[in-house]
Amino acid sequence: MRAYSVAKQPVQKRVNGRISRKLAVWVAEKRYCETESLAQVASEFGVSEEELSYYFSTIVGMRFTTFRKDLRIEEARRLICEQPDMRLLVVANRVGITDKCNFRKQFYEKFGVSPSDWQRKCAEDKHSDR
């Protein structure tokens, strides 16, 4: 049993390296805004769901869905500040969140402020810069 786990380590390192490279591109291209499941991403990366799930739990330190949610909410915060006149439902849809209540809840959990309060602050900041 011990020999199996030792022999498996180089393979896992190669898989983790491939996932890391593909994940960097996936994030840079903001693919997290698309509604993709772990299975779809694993298929795109050329790995199994188990390998991708293992990567997220051991290397990233969180589940794939949590990682994707955090990226989406960060992107929403950025969009709101860049375009404070954009409707919040449009922002939510652009980052891949289709439920308005879920969007508000996730945003508040991450930043401690509602999306509408954040939007108001960003709009005020833009007007004071003029």
Residues 18 and 52 in one domain: yes
Q: pTM, whole model, 2 decimals?
A: 0.85
What is the residue range of 114's domain? 70-129
Residues 20 and 52 in one domain: yes
Q: From CA 111, how far away is CA 47, in angstroms rounded?
A: 33
Among all chains, which residue has been given the structure tokens 């209540």?
Answer: 101
Which residues have CB under 8 Å from 110's CB, separation 6+?
A: 70, 73, 74, 77
- pLDDT, one tens digit per residue, over 40-88 is 999 999 999 999 999 999 999 999 999 999 999 999 999 999 999 999 9
Residues 80 and 123 in one domain: yes
- pLDDT, one tens digit per residue, over 100-129 is 999 999 999 999 999 999 999 999 887 776
Question: Domains in the chain: how many in total?
Answer: 2
Give rounded-to-5 percent helix, strand, coil for the chain.
80, 0, 20
Residues 19 and 45 in one domain: yes
